[in-house]
Amino acid sequence: MKAQELRQLFFEFFESKGHHIVPSAPMVVKNDPTLMFTNAGMNQFKDIFLGNQQPVNKRVANSQKCLRVSGKHNDLEEVGHDTYHHTMFEMLGNWSFGDYFKKEAIEWGWELLVRRLGIPEDRLYATIFKGNKEDSVPRDDEAFAYWEKCFSKPEGRIIEGSKKDNFWEMGETGPCGPCSEIHVDIRDEEEREKIPGKDLVNKGHPHVIEIWNLVFIQYNRRSDGVLEQLPSKHVDTGMGFERLCMVIQGKKSNYDTDIFQSVIKEISSITGKPYGKNEKWDIALRVIADHLRAVAFSIADGQLPSNNKAGYVIRRILRRAVRYGYNNLDVEEPFMHKLVSVLAHTMGNQYPELQSDNVQISKIIFEEETAFLKTLGKGLKMIGIVITDLRKERKNIMPGKVAFEMYDTFGFPVDLTQLILKENNMHLDYQGFEDEMKSQKKRSREDASVETADWTVLNDLEGTEFTGYEKTEDTVIITKYRTVKVKGKESYHLVFNKTPFYAESGGQIGDTGKIISGTEKIEIYDTIKENNLIIHLAKRLPSEPSLDFMAVVDPEKRLLTANNHTATHMIHFALRSVLGKHVEQKGSLVTPDRLRFDFSHFSKLSKKELSKVEDLVNIMVRENHFCKTTSGVSLDKAQSMGAMALFGEKYGKTVRVVEFGKSVELCGGTHVNATGSIGFVKIVSEGAIAAGVRRIEAVTASKAEVYINERLNTIDEIASLLKSTGNLTESVEKLISENSLLKKSIEKFQAQSATIMLKELEGKAVIINNIRFISGKLETDSGDVLKNIASLIRNSSDNTILVIGSKNGEKANLLVMVSDKLVKERNISAVTIIKEIAGEINGGGGGQPFLATAGGKNPAGLERALSKAASLLQKILP
């Protein structure tokens, strides 16, 4: 059965059991400070488990794009070396939100695998939780009993597991419960006879592996560690799609399924290294096939490789693949970008974003690969220098610190460093490297350590109504609060029953302001969203949190931000009008001071295009379009109104549409009532941030005026400096051309004076040990004249040493020239001479054997320097 059909069969099976099939959430997580990437199917339902949101359907199923490369789940180092862990994989899941529980979850799991898909019973094992005294959780007898009914011969098939494998927790606190995993034994008969499969469950055997985990969420862990029963119980299951394919397609490795084969074939044909011939090649082929998916899916979700946070994780994954290609497959040219179209072809049916974005994904990957290959090249050079130095010192161990610096600053991989050292009969002080690594990790852990206390609930009201579209002030009550400690500093999270404060999202930063009760004022320094909760950040708690408060948003900042948000919409609209419909939003930042808008487009905007965009926006400002918002419409309806949905964005059941004239956007942000109040929009910069992605920055209203006025003032200053009353450009052009004429005549003059001075100097030449020695102090303040003289002599004589000096105000210059022949045949060096004499002018110098110069701060020492040179030559010339 093809992967595609298997996925479909899973959906249909659970549909037949009353489940609603939902799409995968984006793999890159945008509105959750605790998580960078979706790492399990349940992530998108976190709010339901936490009780912040009511489920729309009580039974759902889907296939979720997951990435396990950071935080709690990190499989990166396994990937490629084993055959069943991926960075990015699809997790099939079925959920019950307070509906069915263990019985159905187990029975249906069995029905699907055994009856529908025909996996032989005697290849399956189920694990259950054996219980834990510390948490007072008993053995999961219930799950055991249901499994007993499934197997026709249950003996030895149901295995008890510990907290590590069979108790699932969302985090240190929150929803949790026992889980029951299904494992499959796909070994050959011969091997199965030697060791029973049950002895290999959860032992890391590549052919006895977990495929499905059924989690029964029935507890909540409080921050004091105690478990309490949840009022309603949930089921959360996750099955690795690639592993299921392997089992159903009768393969021994995920990479042998049709999910990976076409990409692997393509890599082989590019590199000339077939799969299955050589373990070193195979590892690299697997790594590349896997990482390509992780990187391509992230880019499609709007996460470009970059040098921080999620973007850095993606960059590292891509680099790991390039490095395996470089080390194991000898590819020194960018190649991964060529694989994107094959991937899009294989997976584009289920994930159309891959198909529609495939050209851009490929360009971005190309750029990253090219840059990293350069880094590799630079790193190789650096290692070369280190190795030479070590050899000179007769050492053969490279200090860990050096390797760490190369790794940390240039991303140069340590295993490559080791490999190169080995080829040079040297090795790395690996312990030293690890120590550096550890202390860096410790530093960043300390920086990132956050302790979050439990909520103190004052009022049972759920959720927060946002009233900030209509007002900036509202009377509120605090429904719950908690203390948060970051790097030892305490702050408070406050949740209200309703709030006029906008929480950071959709690129718009959070509101600031204060809450007031009686004479007490508490500053709110930021507003954030955690899942669906609006959280207000304060440095201190009110003395009586249960009072009523007046919540007041800083109105000026709010207005400036609204100006910039509305301007962002208009710029988006204008860009699509001027450049074409390929322009899509790739990122945005809206603050009170300025706006930043990233969008897809392949070339630099010409001056003309930029001013067209700006003109169009300012026309829209003057046309004074009123803000029209429509809330609670379906995504389909919004799209038919002309709004564009972005990939990688998670939209709720209904959306809000914001219109200003012809600009129509899906947006939850705050805006001006009418565009006229923005006054004026000025684009201040345009540039590239990645292949095919450009960034515009702009300012509005008073900030735009300040920007323009500063520029005008500069122009006024220039005009007054130039005493220009007419056309300023002409005045500047005139100045430039006068300047270049003057330069030319100076050069001519210098050349003439060099010839004159040279004549004079040659007249005073003396012969020391058969060599013509010319020296003298010159009246010139230009170092160029000295160099001119030197080059005249160097070209005309092969038997001269020239030592000259000049005074330039408080400074002195010295120059030594030695004819090439003397350098070669008599081993005389200008550098040696300049080093001897530069001290006299309080300076230092250097250069090459035939020409060296020095600058110093003591012109009075020039004469002494020259006579020192003469006596030195008397001494050293053989």
Shorter beta-carbon distance to ligand ATP: residue 211 or 383 = 211
Tokens representing residue 730 in the block: 């002409």
Contacting range for ligand ATP; rule: CB under 6 A; set: 206-214, 399-407, 536-544, 780-788: 206-214
Phi, psi (deg, nearest 5) at residue 232: -125, 145
Among 110, 212, 351, 407, binds ligand ATP (CB under 6 A): 212
Shorter beta-carbon distance to ligand ATP: residue 147 or 492 = 147
Q: Does 185 bind ligand ATP (CB under 6 A)?
A: no
Q: Does 800 bind ligand ATP (CB under 6 A)?
A: no
Counting residues that bind ligand ATP (by CB under 6 A) gives 15
At residue 739's C-alpha, the angle toward residues 734 and 740, to 5°, is: 105
Least distance (Å) between residue 75 CB and ligand ATP: 4
Q: Does 89 bind ligand ATP (CB under 6 A)?
A: yes
Least distance (Å) between residue 571 CB and ligand ATP: 41
Q: Does 85 bind ligand ATP (CB under 6 A)?
A: yes
Shorter beta-carbon distance to ligand ATP: residue 175 or 238 = 238
Shorter beta-carbon distance to ligand ATP: residue 91 or 150 = 91
Q: Does 575 bind ligand ATP (CB under 6 A)?
A: no
The set of long-range contacts for 562-565, using a CB threshold of 8 Å and a minimum separation of 24, is 562/670, 562/671, 562/672, 563/672, 563/677, 563/678, 563/700, 563/701, 564/590, 564/591, 564/592, 564/594, 564/595, 564/698, 564/700, 565/508, 565/590, 565/595, 565/667, 565/669, 565/670, 565/671
Least distance (Å) between residue 88 CB and ligand ATP: 8
Closest-CA residue to 157 (of 106, 115, 122, 112): 122
Least distance (Å) between residue 76 CB and ligand ATP: 9
For residue 179, the surrounding DSSP H or E stretch is: strand 174-185
H helices present in 217-347, as ranges: 241-248, 258-271, 279-300, 309-328, 340-347
Least distance (Å) between residue 216 CB and ligand ATP: 13
Q: Which residue has the tokens 């170092």?
A: 783
Q: Kindly report the length of the chain.
A: 878
Q: Which residue has the tokens 């990253």?
A: 368
Least distance (Å) between residue 40 CB and ligand ATP: 6
β-pair partners for 800: 772
Least distance (Å) between residue 256 CB and ligand ATP: 14
Strand 595-600 and strand 800-808: pairing? unpaired
Shorter beta-carbon distance to ligand ATP: residue 76 or 814 = 76
Tell me if 849 sits within 8 A of 831, measured CB to CB: yes
Shorter beta-carbon distance to ligand ATP: residue 68 or 671 = 68
Least distance (Å) between residue 205 CB and ligand ATP: 11
Closest-CA residue to 828 (of 877, 782, 766, 871): 877
Q: Does 211 bind ligand ATP (CB under 6 A)?
A: yes
Least distance (Å) between residue 109 CB and ligand ATP: 11
Shorter beta-carbon distance to ligand ATP: residue 86 or 286 = 86
Sign of CA dihedral 116, 119, 122, 123: negative
Region of 72 (left: φ > 0; alpha: ψ -120 to 50; beta: rest) is alpha
Q: Does 671 bind ligand ATP (CB under 6 A)?
A: no
Least distance (Å) between residue 250 CB and ligand ATP: 17
Diameter of the chain by CA atoms? 115
- DSSP labels, 742-797: HHHHHHHHHHHHHHHHHHHHHHT-EEETTEEEEEEEE--S-HHHHHHHHHHHHHH-
Q: Does 86 bind ligand ATP (CB under 6 A)?
A: yes
Contacting range for ligand ATP; rule: CB under 6 A; set: 86-94, 490-498, 629-637, 674-682: 86-94
Residues 714-733 within binding reach of ligand ATP (CB under 6 A): none
Residues 15-74 within binding reach of ligand ATP (CB under 6 A): 68
Q: Which residue is nearest to ligand ATP (CB)?
A: 240
Region of 330 (left: φ > 0; alpha: ψ -120 to 50; beta: rest) is left
Shorter beta-carbon distance to ligand ATP: residue 208 or 524 = 208
Least distance (Å) between residue 148 CB and ligand ATP: 22
Region of 701 (left: φ > 0; alpha: ψ -120 to 50; beta: rest) is left
Q: Does 213 bind ligand ATP (CB under 6 A)?
A: yes
Shorter beta-carbon distance to ligand ATP: residue 217 or 865 = 217
For residue 715, the surrounding DSSP H or E stretch is: helix 701-721
Spatial CB neighbours of 738, under 8 Å, sequence gap ≥ 6: none
Contacting range for ligand ATP; rule: CB under 6 A; set: 205-213, 605-613, 657-665, 667-675: 205-213
Binding track, positions 223-252, relative to ligand ATP; x by CB under 6 A:
---------------xxx-xx---------
Closest-CA residue to 34 (of 67, 65, 71, 69): 71
Least distance (Å) between residue 182 CB and ligand ATP: 8
Least distance (Å) between residue 337 CB and ligand ATP: 24
CB atoms within 10 A of CB 796: 11
Coil, strand or helix at 44: helix
Shorter beta-carbon distance to ligand ATP: residue 81 or 857 = 81
Tell me if 166 sits within 8 A of 110, measured CB to CB: no
Strand 498-499 and strand 465-466: pairing? parallel
The CA–CA distances, whole Å, from 579 to 356, 584, 603, 619, 639 equal: 19, 11, 10, 17, 21
On the CB side of 24, CA atoms within 13 Å amount to: 26
Among 32, 35, 70, 75, binds ligand ATP (CB under 6 A): 75
Least distance (Å) between residue 89 CB and ligand ATP: 4
Shorter beta-carbon distance to ligand ATP: residue 128 or 837 = 128
Q: Does 291 bind ligand ATP (CB under 6 A)?
A: no
Shorter beta-carbon distance to ligand ATP: residue 237 or 362 = 237
Q: Does 210 bind ligand ATP (CB under 6 A)?
A: yes
Least distance (Å) between residue 68 CB and ligand ATP: 5
Shorter beta-carbon distance to ligand ATP: residue 109 or 692 = 109
CB atoms within 10 A of CB 806: 22
Least distance (Å) between residue 328 CB and ligand ATP: 21
Q: Does 812 bind ligand ATP (CB under 6 A)?
A: no
Cα end-to-end distance, the chain, whole Å: 90
Tokens representing residue 737 in the block: 């051309």
Least distance (Å) between residue 160 CB and ligand ATP: 16
Q: What one-character DSSP code corresponds to residue 55?
A: -
| Cα–Cα distance for residue pair 619/617, rounded to 1 Å | 5
Q: Does 91 bind ligand ATP (CB under 6 A)?
A: yes
Shorter beta-carbon distance to ligand ATP: residue 63 or 819 = 63
Q: Which residue has the tokens 């603050």?
A: 591
| Cα–Cα distance for residue pair 562/559, rounded to 1 Å | 5
Shorter beta-carbon distance to ligand ATP: residue 111 or 609 = 111
Residues 392-431 within binding reach of ligand ATP (CB under 6 A): none
Q: Does 551 bind ligand ATP (CB under 6 A)?
A: no
Q: Does 675 bind ligand ATP (CB under 6 A)?
A: no
For residue 371, the surrounding DSSP H or E stretch is: helix 358-392
The CA–CA distances, whole Å, from 300 to 174, 424, 456, 586 equal: 32, 43, 40, 10
Shorter beta-carbon distance to ligand ATP: residue 294 or 552 = 294
| Cα–Cα distance for residue pair 675/663, rounded to 1 Å | 11
Least distance (Å) between residue 491 CB and ligand ATP: 33
Shorter beta-carbon distance to ligand ATP: residue 85 or 586 = 85
Binding track, positions 107-126, relative to ligand ATP; x by CB under 6 A:
--------------------
Q: Which residues bind ligand ATP (CB under 6 A)?
A: 68, 75, 85-86, 89, 91, 210-213, 238-240, 242-243
